[in-house]
C-alpha cells in the first residue's frame, strides 16, 4: 500500500537558501506555464500540454534574465509542469476550478523524484546538497523501505516539512472486533456515538481567538509590503498554524481510537463546502474539522482493515424516531430533545441521530450503496436510489 509520512525538518543556512531558491523557481515556472497556456487558448484557441510547456522551459533556461533556473535541480521544475497538467486535467473533467497562480506568501512546495535525492542510512540527501536534512523523526519508515518521492514544503508560518512517499509491504490489519458504531457530527458535541457517548468539541479557534484578533489588528496597521508588515503577517500565520496543529492532533487521537474499538463505522456523507456558505455557522463548522475527520477515518479504515460506511446526507437521522420510524415535519437546531408524536418515545436529538445512522448503515451494507429514505412515506421507509437500481 502506498503511503506518505510527513516530518518537520530544520535546514542549515545553506540548505534553506537553496530550498527557498528552488521554491521560487518552481513558483515562477508554474506561473509562466499557466500564463502561456491561458494566453494560447484565449488568443489562438490552442491547447498547450505538458510536452509543449516542457519545451518552453528549455527556452526559458537559455534566456539571460532566467539563468538562475539552472542553479537549482531541474526535477522539481519538471514536476511543477506535471502538476499543472494534472490541474488542467481535473478542470476539464469538472473536478476542480481553473488553476490559480501560486503566491509567495503561501510558502510553496517542491517535489523530488528518485533522480533528485539520495536515501542513505536512513538519511535524505537532496540534489545539490552535501549534507543530509536534519529531520525530526516522529516515526521511522518500515525496515527495508526506501522513499520513491520526496516533497519539500514551506508553510506560511515559515516551518519546513518533508513528505516521504513509499510502498508499505506490511499488513497492519487489526484483529476483528464485534462493535459497530454510528457517528453524528455536531458543533456543541464534536461527535455523538450511537452508544450514547458524546465527544466534546474542543473549539480550538476560540482558545486562540484573543491572540489572533490582537495580531490581526497589529497587521492591519502596518504598511503592506514593508518589513514590519511581513513580521506581523508571520505572527498571524504562526497562530493559525497552532490552531491547525492542535485540531489535527485531536482528530488523529479520536479517529485512531474509533478505528481500534469498532469494526464498522457509519457516518453521514457531508457536503462541508456547501454548509460553510451559511455565514452564521461557517466559522464553527470550519473549526470542527468535519472534512478532516472523515478523511482520517477513510484512510485509517483502509490501513487497518476496518469498514467505513457513508450514508446519504439527505437521510433524516435527527427527525426520524428510532423506535417507530416516524419522521417529524420540522425539528429546528435549537431543539435538542423531543418526544415522538406517534409512540411517545423521548429522544436526545444527537443520540437518536447516531442510532439511526448506525441502523441505516447496516441496511446500506446489506442492500448496497444508494439507500435513502422515501420522503413520501411518513414512516420513513427505505428505498433504493435510482443510481443503485440501474
Of 16, 143, 168, 268, the active-site residue reads: 268
Neighbour-count burial of 209, counting CB atoms closer than 10 A to its CB (0-12 exposed, 13-18 middle, 19+ buried): middle
Contact assessment for residue 195 and residue 303, using Cβ atoms and an 8 Å cutoff: no
220-253 burial string, b = 16+ CB within 10 Å, else e? eeeeeeeeebeebbebbbbbbebbbeebeebbee
Contact of 292 with 244, CB cutoff 8 Å? no
Verify whether residue 167 is a known catalytic residue: no
* Annotation marks residue 184 as catalytic: yes
350 is an active site residue: yes
Supply φ then ψ for residue 46, to 5 degrees. Answer: -110, 145
Q: Read off the DSSP letter of residue 188.
A: S
Which residue among 184, 197, 245, 287 is the active-site one?
184
Q: Cell 436510489 belongs to which residue?
A: 385
Q: Which of 43, 121, 339, 350 is catalytic?
A: 350
Residues contacting residue 243 through CB under 8 Å, at least 6 positions apart: 204, 205, 207, 208, 212
Q: How far is CA 118 from CA 47, 126, 162, 326, in A?
A: 36, 6, 14, 63
Distance CA 267, CA 311 (A): 6
HSE-up of residue 290 (Cα within 13 Å, Cβ side) = 24
The catalytic site residues sit at: 184, 268, 350
Amino acid at each position: 500500500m502506498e503511503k506518505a509520512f510527513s516530518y518537520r525538518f530544520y535546514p542549515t543556512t545553506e540548505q534553506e537558501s537553496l530550498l527557498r531558491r528552488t521554491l521560487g523557481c518552481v513558483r515562477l515556472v508554474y506561473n509562466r506555464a499557466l500564463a502561456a497556456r491561458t494566453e494560447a487558448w484565449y488568443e489562438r484557441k490552442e491547447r498547450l500540454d505538458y510536452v509543449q510547456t516542457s519545451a518552453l522551459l528549455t527556452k526559458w533556461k537559455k534566456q539571460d534574465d532566467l539563468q538562475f533556473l539552472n542553479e537549482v535541480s531541474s526535477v522539481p521544475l519538471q514536476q511543477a509542469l506535471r502538476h499543472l497538467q494534472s490541474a488542467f486535467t481535473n478542470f476539464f473533467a469538472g473536478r476542480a476550478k481553473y488553476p490559480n497562480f501560486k503566491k509567495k506568501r503561501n510558502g510553496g512546495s517542491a517535489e523530488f523524484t528518485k533522480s533528485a535525492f539520495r536515501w542513505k542510512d536512513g538519511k535524505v540527501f537532496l540534489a545539490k546538497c552535501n549534507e543530509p536534512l536534519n529531520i525530526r523523526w516522529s516515526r521511522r519508515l518500515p525496515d527495508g523501505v526506501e522513499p520513491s518521492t520526496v516533497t519539500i514544503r514551506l508553510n506560511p508560518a515559515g516551518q519546513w516539512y518533508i513528505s516521504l512517499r513509499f510502498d508499505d509491504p506490511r499488513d497492519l490489519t487489526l484483529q476483528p472486533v464485534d462493535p459497530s458504531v454510528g457517528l453524528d457530527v455536531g458543533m456543541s458535541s464534536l461527535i455523538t456515538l450511537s452508544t450514547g457517548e458524546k465527544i466534546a468539541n474542543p473549539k480550538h479557534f476560540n482558545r486562540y481567538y484573543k491572540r489572533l484578533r490582537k495580531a490581526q489588528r497589529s497587521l492591519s496597521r502596518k504598511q503592506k509590503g514593508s518589513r514590519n508588515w511581513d513580521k506581523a503577517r508571520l505572527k498571524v500565520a504562526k497562530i493559525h498554524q497552532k490552531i491547525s496543529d492542535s485540531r489535527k492532533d485531536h482528530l488523529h487521537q479520536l479517529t485512531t481510537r474509533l478505528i481500534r474499538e469498532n469494526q464498522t463505522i457509519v457516518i453521514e456523507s457531508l457536503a462541508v463546502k456547501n454548509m460553510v456558505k451559511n455565514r452564521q455557522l461557517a466559522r464553527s463548522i470550519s473549526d470542527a474539522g468535519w472534512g478532516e475527520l472523515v478523511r482520517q477515518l477513510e484512510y485509517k479504515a483502509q490501513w487497518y482493515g476496518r469498514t467505513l460506511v457513508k450514508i446519504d446526507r439527505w437521510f433524516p437521522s435527527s427527525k426520524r424516531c428510532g423506535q417507530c420510524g416516524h419522521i417529524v415535519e420540522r425539528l429546528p437546531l435549537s431543539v435538542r430533545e423531543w418526544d415522538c408524536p406517534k409512540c411517545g418515545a423521548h429522544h436526545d436529538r444527537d443520540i437518536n441521530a447516531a442510532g439511526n445512522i448506525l441502523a441505516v448503515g447496516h441496511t446500506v451494507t446489506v442492500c448496497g450503496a444508494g439507500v435513502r429514505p422515501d420522503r413520501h412515506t411518513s414512516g420513513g421507509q427505505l428505498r433504493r436510489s435510482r443510481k443503485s437500481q440501474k
